[in-house]
Chains A and B, each alone.
Chain A
Amino acid sequence: MSTPRDVEITVGYPALPGLEDRLEKRTVKPAEGDAAPWDATTKFTTIGTDVDRVDGLQKASGRAKYTYDITFPGMLQAMILRAPIAKGKLKGLELDEASRMPGIGAVVALKDLGAKVRFVGDAIAAVAGTTLNHVRDAIEKIRAEYDLEEHNVDYVVATDAPLLSATGQIEEPWAEAAELEAALKEAKVTHEATYRTEVQTHSSLETHGGVARWNGNDLEIWLSTQATFGCRGELAQACKAKGIDVGTVTLHAEFVGGGFGSKFSAGIEGLAVCLLAHAAKVPVKLMLDRFEEHTTTGNRPGCLMQARAGVDADGRIVAWDWRSFGHAGFTGSGGVSVPNYYTADAKKRTAHKDLNIDADPPRPMRAPGHPQGWFGAELFLDELATKAGIDPLQFRLKNDREAIRLDQWRFGAAKFGWDAARARKNEAGARFLTGSGLASARWGNLGGAGRGTPHGITCRIHQDGTVETRSGAQDIGVGTKTMMAIVTAEELGIPVARITAMTGHTTDPSGPASGGSTLTPSIASAVRHAAFLAKQTLVEIVAKHIGVPLSEVHCAGGKVGSGTAQLRWADACKLIGPNPIDERGKRHPNYAEKPFHASQCGAQFAEVKVDTWTGLVEVTRMFGIQDCGLVLAKKQAESQVLGAMIQGVSYALHEQRIMDKRSGRMLNGDFLRYKITGVRDLPRLECHMHSIANGHDSVGAAGLGEPPSVATAAAIGNAVFHAIGVPVRHLPITPDKVLAALASKKG
């Protein structure tokens, strides 16, 4: 085994076209027994190449079994009775008639009498029966009575919401801050504006829910989740709290139809399906319907944001004052983040206030707080730059303090054709106006070893030459299995085709939730460690077999051996015997040494076409450059970046939860009126995967859920501003708002 030693590595990245490289030397101390770090000089054979998604065929053939597809003989289907009121108390609940309906196997109450009802859709009771039609028939027989209280589902008029003018500008006085006021006074140009975003729902195509099966006290559950181990613990606790004597809990989530931050908890639907299966003594499936998915499983909160700032004669930001107010549902966080790398030299202040309303609270959604904050801040920057007579790109080059992004701005602007795009003038009186905008992105998370027991991975090498790499964490579609296969293949020097990657069963080693873009950086080096250990064992077997000292045997390029005594991989594996090599790798802590960068930078450019007659905005093309850490699964990573941009188009132009204020009920809880970008709205998209060796562990991976989601809506907002000459400060940028903006320009 290796001992701790100093290793010199090269971090950073080679030159982007036309720019300088940013390669640096570092000395790191890997943990005892860990593999030596990969770095910017490593020559890879599999990593960074195009590898087919390892479960792609299962998905494309319809044979992949998601939670929704799990079925057992005699299994019942279930549904939840939801409160029709936004606020009050449950006064009466009569379940008997429902339980006597044909085909009904179990009915359980989910809310106690006298308990608070907190939003339309709060769970009251659940019913399981032979078909959903039968269950629905029975649900209609449940009599629930409520004490009604007055409710409010509009955070903008919540009791502690800021004062708004008739046009939606925040009119609340700013709290005192003498230094900031002085900086604003001294500034050459100042600007102030209010921005607003609406509630976006995650809209995972597979709804939340599960299939539960009890075997005595042991629970087996299939759950559509992005946190297998967290949900396993949650359900064990929740069932115990309901008085059930719980033995072991095994959770499966081999395929998950999207999560985007909404599926960290098993939720009331997870508990309900366990309770129903326990009561009915047969397996039960409970999957939410689309309306429940929109209205009870969280969202990206809407927010009001206000900025004021000043720039000096050189175009540097000298004062920056920012406050935000976010919808927080009946409890939760409506938090908003803003970029801080433009204002390093400014006198600055940021403040946020959550506003509670009687609605489904937010949950983390792909870069929580970021797309909304960046939309406000980046549009504000463009307004400020325009006032100061500075090109938006130049304004950012002047103020951005992050070296990586400065390279990205320059490279991206050249690729996109920024100068030409901005110089192009729309014809006077033209119906269609084009415009271009840009925006930055930042996300900071390098992953880690996990709390308590470190994240683990199993690697098995079988006698037939096949290899398994297994994690109990889940792949929610980002390509985790593929990444695991690629890292294992690279470490063992064999093709990906020999490797089977498995995720999503809690019988395998524990791993993190898919959240905060931490899964990949948190397990990639554990995958490598497991493969590294298995390789060492194989090398020992081969060394013994060919009779050479261990230190002289290598495993690379599909061969194991020394000098001329080389065994082909398949032949080497034949020496293993009937029991496979079975090693458990772990995620060691990040190196103590400073990584090349602690956060991921990105920049995106957008071009739009605005129909001034109808107000419709079409995004015609986008270019994104994204810092990806070390790109492991190239094709899947690209898919994720492009997909984030498409989601961003949707957020910028279409998505909003529309509430009926009197009832507190969502009106567009479907896919007809809750509008998501479709194929006809798809811009021409291009991304550059900026691979950077950051030297934080033996792999140096980064996650890509969040980072490419931050900039898109902001870049589109800026492009619309450029096209029509007035900012639309309220997402989504729907035709009515564009027309109002155009009218304000004329007026």
Chain B
Amino acid sequence: MTVPSDRGFSRRSFLKGSAVAGIATTGLTAAAHAVPAAPESFGPGRHEIALLVNGKEQKVTVETRTTLLDALRDGLDLTGCKKVCDRGSCGGCTVLMNGEPVTGCLVLAMDAVGQSLTTVESLTEGDTPHALVQNFVKCDAMQCGFCTPGMVMSSLACLQKRGKPTEEQMRTDLSGNLCRCGTYGRVMEAIQRTAAGGTGGGK
């Protein structure tokens, strides 16, 4: 007998997840439910889905062909998630899905139902910005700033996974994020500074 032993592996099924998140109560879905033998299906029109974003369930209307990136930006105005290449090659739209960085442009919004999503905006929701965000500023880990939110999310995942990452680990974890202005070195400084617990003061 096979025993899945991967700890990162969720055994919760999509349907349970989607039931929790309340996927699509469209006429089309109701019709699909009326024929129990067929799998549940969602037609080409518009559907209201619920996404679990930054700990809150948020309703958004999408088509089946809408990407998570477009749902976040156009549906929820979470524009920290940037559209840069729209092909998974630059990391500008990095969000965390169940704690792991993914590129929102290569995820269908429908696939994200029932997943826990974290966007860069979550880091400044409280009274004080997250230390990592503060250290991006402190280390000047940005220029034009367009790659920066994606960099922040990859850096956050790096810190959450590694604690005190080595340079090699930082380079691995940031390798999906492209910066045209050339801020990589300072992004790594911001990660290191956060890992060391520094948040303010001089450079």
Contact = CB atoms under 8 A, between A and B. Distances in A.
- Do A and B originate from a single complex? yes
Interface of A: 50, 52-53, 55-66, 68-69, 71, 131-133, 203-207, 255-260, 287, 289-290, 476-479, 635-636, 638-640, 642-647, 670-672, 676-680, 682, 685
B137 A685 contact: no
A646 B124 CA distance: 30
B50 to A, nearest CB: 20
B169 to A, nearest CB: 11
Contacts of B80: 61-63
Contact of B84 (A60, A290, A476): A290
A442 B85 CA distance: 34
A225 to B, nearest CB: 13
Q: Which 9 A-B pairs have the closest CB atoms?
A: A62-B80, A477-B144, A646-B182, A643-B182, A257-B146, A59-B145, A56-B137, A69-B79, A62-B120
A256 B87 CA distance: 22
B152 interface: yes
Given A133-B66, A258-B180, A638-B140, 19 more contacts: A56-B137, A59-B145, A62-B78, A62-B119, A64-B145, A66-B79, A66-B82, A68-B79, A131-B70, A256-B144, A257-B144, A259-B144, A636-B143, A639-B140, A639-B181, A639-B183, A672-B89, A678-B184, A679-B187
A685 B120 contact: no
B181 to A, nearest CB: 5
Contact of B90 (A52, A635, A645, A671): A671
Nearest to B136: A60
Contact of B121 (A61, A131, A207): A61
A640 B180 CA distance: 11
A433 to B, nearest CB: 23
Nearest to B172: A680
Given A643-B181, A643-B183, A56 B146 contact: no
A62 B144 contact: no
B121 A60 contact: no
Contacts of A257: 82, 144-146
The interface centre, meaning the residue of B143, B148, B171 with most chain A CB atoms within 10 A of its CB, is B143
B82 A68 contact: yes
Contacts of B133: 57, 60-61
A55 B149 CA distance: 14
Contacts of B187: 679
Given A62-B79, A643-B183, A672-B87, A679 B144 contact: no
B164 interface: no
Interface in B111-154: 119-121, 123-124, 129, 133-134, 136-138, 140-149, 152
Interface in B162-185: 170-172, 174-175, 177-185
Contacts of A53: 137, 140, 142
B59 interface: no
A670 B88 CA distance: 10
A16 to B, nearest CB: 22
B11 interface: no
Given A50-B202, A53-B140, A679-B174, A60 B90 contact: no
Interface in B66-116: 66, 70, 73-74, 77-87, 89-90, 92
Contact of B144 (A207, A476, A677): A476
A60 B87 contact: no
Contacts of A57: 124, 129, 133-134, 137
B56 to A, nearest CB: 16
Interface residues of B, number: 61
B90 A646 contact: no
Given A206-B144, A671-B89, A682 B178 contact: no
B143 A643 contact: yes
Contact of B145 (A52, A477, A680, A682): A477
24 contacts: A50-B203, A52-B140, A56-B137, A56-B142, A58-B145, A59-B142, A59-B148, A60-B133, A60-B141, A61-B120, A62-B78, A62-B149, A66-B146, A68-B83, A204-B144, A204-B180, A287-B83, A290-B85, A477-B145, A635-B140, A646-B182, A679-B175, A679-B184, A679-B188
A52 B134 CA distance: 10
A289 B86 CA distance: 8
B65 interface: yes
Contacts of A289: 86
B103 to A, nearest CB: 11
Given A52-B138, A205-B147, A645 B120 contact: no
Nearest to A258: B144
A730 to B, nearest CB: 24
B173 to A, nearest CB: 9
Contacts of B84: 205-207, 290, 671
B142 A60 contact: yes
A258 B181 contact: yes
A133 B82 CA distance: 18
Contacts of A680: 171-172, 175
B182 A133 contact: no
Contact of B92 (A205, A255, A639, A643): A205
Nearest to A482: B140
A491 B28 CA distance: 67
Contacts of B121: 61-63
A203 B152 CA distance: 21
A477 B203 contact: no
A66 B144 CA distance: 10
Contacts of B81: 62
B63 interface: yes
Contacts of B70: 131-132
Contact of B85 (A56, A58, A670): A670
Nearest to A224: B146
A60 B152 contact: yes
Contacts of B66: 131, 133
B182 A71 contact: no
Given A69-B79, A477-B143, A636-B140, A260 B87 contact: no
Contacts of A55: 145
B82 A682 contact: no
A638 B203 CA distance: 13
Given A50-B202, A61-B133, A672-B87, A646 B82 contact: no
Contacts of B92: 205
Contacts of B86: 289-290
A60 B89 contact: no
Contacts of A255: 145
A636 B137 CA distance: 11
Nearest to A644: B182
B152 to A, nearest CB: 6
A131 B119 contact: no
Contacts of A677: 182
Nearest to A682: B184
A289 B121 CA distance: 24
A260 B180 contact: yes
A645 B182 contact: yes
A61 B87 contact: no
Contacts of B174: 678-679
Contacts of B119: 62
B123 A679 contact: no
A205 B178 contact: yes
Nearest to A647: B182
